[in-house]
Amino acid sequence: SQTIHQWPATLVQPVGSPLSLECTVEGTSNPNLYWYRQAAGRGLQLLFYSIGIDQISSEVPQNLSASRPQDRQFILSSKKLLLSDSGFYLCAWSPTRGEKLFFGSGTQLSVL
């Protein structure tokens, strides 16, 4: 069966520090991968999605970047965190175009 791993679960970082969140999927190949951010009491905001290695689309101009170094690995990064980067970050994967997304457990990021 397929599983998605996302870590860390909680992260507290100072303003201006770098960020690296990692997500891996097991049990499938060539998944579509997604990074979402969810502010408290708000809906899901799509940040990046990838349909293959070196095929990454950015949905929102921001202080973040994404990379997919391997087929089942998706990394969210920042060189310098801002206060506004605080939030709940979710990685997800999908076996097919636009349907049945499966989410990781999320990372609560607090930038202080």
Partner 1 sequence: QKEVEQDPGPLSVPEGAIVSLNCTYSNSAFQYFMWYRQYSRKGPELLMYTYSSGNKEDGRFTAQVDKSSKYISLFIRDSQPSDSATYLCAMSVPGGSYIPTFGRGTSLIVHP
> Total residues contacting partner 1 (rule CB under 8 A)?
26
Residues numbered 4 to 43 that lie near partner 1 (CB under 8 A) are 6, 32, 34, 41-43
Cβ proximity to partner 1: between 66 and 90 the closer is 90
Look up tokens 């990021």; give the residue: 109
- Cα–Cα distance between 24 and 48 in angstroms, integer? 15
The residue ranges that bind partner 1 (CB under 8 A) are: 6, 32, 34, 41-44, 46, 49, 51, 59, 88, 90, 92, 94, 97-106, 108
